[in-house]
Amino acid sequence: MVLGFRVNRVCLLKESMVVLEIRKAIIRFIYRMIPIVKPITSVILSDKGKKKLKKFFLSTTSSGGHRASNLLPNSPMIEGINLIGYSRAEMGIGESCRIAANSISAAGIPFGIINFQGTSSARMEDLTWLSKEIKYPIYKINVFHINAEQMPELNVRYNDLLFKDRYNIGVWHWELPDFPEDWTDSFQYVDEIWAPSTFVAQALAIKSPVPVIKIPHSIEVTIKEYRDRKYYDLPENSFLFLTMYDVRSYQERKNPEASINAFKISFEPDDMSVGLVIKVNSYRSKSNEFLKLKSMIEGYRNIYIINETLSRNDVNALLNVCDSFISLHRSEGFGLGLAEAMYLGKPAIGTNWSSTTDFMNYDNSCLVKYTLVHPTRDFGPYKAYQYWAEPDINHASEFMKKLVDDNKFYTDIGSEGQTFIKKYYSPSSVGQEISKRLKYIGKWKFGGGI
């Protein structure tokens, strides 16, 4: 009788294991199919329908939260950081992951990178940190350079292999005052959050059940191969303003139209002594956004569009050959373009609201006046009930003309901006902040060490 019970129990256990393996195989298959199915669902489903489908898939594959409240001081894992993110992706969140690697490296902290591609369609050819890539987590601390809404996707892919018994830190970006309620479930995956700016930290902290720490991005613009203007088909002797945006970041938030309009009211269409360069990422020639952009610049011989995907070196070199950077954004989660231009000594013109005010002030940049308004409708995660800044393009125009005409003003602003960024946002400076935080994490969670 007892033997029969044990045999039945073993059989049931084996059946359960088989079912579990089949379930895992199905999940892996569905996960691999997401990049193929995603474009189709974008056409046939509403935003609400896509959200429900994603939530259903994630809920059926998730094993729940992974906070490290039961960590033991005698953990056998190695001291250091598993940096998880889109480390090869040629987009903003990929760049933020590579920037984190630079800061961690500058601090001398042991680390490895787990490159996560997820369902992103971005080009994955930046191999800057290939030598630090690892297949599996080996360190005590995870730092996820993946935004809140993507954490469940990461959990589906790795589950306990990545999260369990480690201290999990999410580096999350967000661009508006109210953090989306739909994303609050992602707090279950982390023990604390690092926010890149005061603005983001405030938005997260009010809803967060875990500590929120401000750890900014470090800024270091490296150019291994310098380019001249001819390389980009740009005029040699014009004063060039540069603006950049990624279609995936929502044109309405990045607001390139405002930079174009400020330029148009400042300079004549045939004034070849000046120019505006518009660098567009994730370009699609027949998209409504791009067609609208082309119609806006029609007749202006001095406005230039660069829509090729450039290497990081060539983006940095483009910043270097232009004279000033302008971003009349409605809101930013950090503002890398502005900070990188300042690093190079290029005067930056930016909206005086949200995250960029951490490093832009009246002495080191050209801060543009604004009015707070509600979005005219929902734009993806940016809902109409929220508010963002509407920049004053006439005020921006005054700065554009002054930078062209007043050489002393140009030099003073560029010099002050460069000094500020290199002093407070260097990889070594930010790396020291990371080290300091890890020291206290080690004290409270690992018995004194990381």
DSSP strand pairing (388-391 vs 370-373): antiparallel
**Host H or E run for residue 335:** none
Give me the amino acid identity at 115: N
Burial zone of 402 (CB within 10 Å; 0-12 exposed, 13-18 middle, 19+ buried): middle
* Region class of 65: left (phi > 0), else alpha (psi between -120 and 50), else beta: beta
Can you tell me the mean pLDDT for 54-75? Answer: 52
pLDDT of residue 17: 46
**16-25, 296-305, 331-340: which range is least confident on average?**
16-25
Query: Mean pLDDT highest for which of 11-20, 45-54, 287-296?
Result: 287-296
Per cent of the chain over pLDDT 90 is 70
Helix, strand or coil for residue 168? Answer: strand
Tell me the two tokens of residue 163.
């999260």
Tens-place pLDDT, residues 359-382: 999 999 999 999 999 999 999 999
Tens-place pLDDT, residues 220-263: 999 999 999 999 999 999 999 999 987 666 889 999 999 999 99
Tens-place pLDDT, residues 268-279: 999 999 999 999
| CA 410, 415, 420, 422 torsion-angle sign | positive
Residue with the bigger pLDDT between 342 and 58: it is 342
Residue with tokens 């004053």: 392
Q: Which spans in 45-150 are helix H? A: 47-61, 92-106
Decide if 27 contacts 58 (C-beta within 8 A): no
Give me the amino acid identity at 111: F
pLDDT of residue 391: 98
Tell me the two tokens of residue 341.
């231009």
**What's the maximum distance between 2 C-alpha atoms anywhere in the chain?**
97
Q: Residue 29 above 70 pLDDT?
A: no
Can you tell me the mean pLDDT for 75-103? Answer: 90
pLDDT band (50, 70, 90) for residue 288: confident
Q: Tell me how far apart the alpha carbons of residues 342 and 340 are, in angstroms, rounded to a whole number.
A: 5
Q: Residue 69 above 50 pLDDT?
A: no
Task: From residue 237, give the alpha-carbon distance in Å to each of 77, 259, 262, 307, 400.
Answer: 57, 21, 21, 22, 17
Distance, first Cα to last Cα, the chain = 53
Q: Residue 341 above 70 pLDDT?
A: yes
Q: Tell me how far apart the alpha carbons of residues 214 and 208 are, in angstroms, rounded to a whole number.
A: 14
pLDDT band (50, 70, 90) for residue 70: very low
Residue with the bigger pLDDT between 123 and 49: it is 123
Residue with the bigger pLDDT between 370 and 288: it is 370
Q: Residue 7 above 90 pLDDT?
A: no
Which of 430, 411, 432, 434 lies closest to 422, judged by CA?
A: 430
Decide if 51 contacts 182 (C-beta within 8 A): yes
Tell me the two tokens of residue 214.
């401000």
Domains of the chain (ranges, CATH numbers): 78-218+428-445 (3.40.50.11930), 229-425 (3.40.50.2000)
User: DSSP per residue over 74-102, as a string?
Assistant: T--SEEEEEEEE-TT-SSHHHHHHHHHHH
Tens-place pLDDT, residues 141-153: 999 999 999 999 8
* 14 CB neighbour count, 10 Å cutoff: 10
Helix, strand or coil for residue 178? Answer: coil
Decide if 22 contacts 30 (C-beta within 8 A): no
Decide if 262 contacts 327 (C-beta within 8 A): no
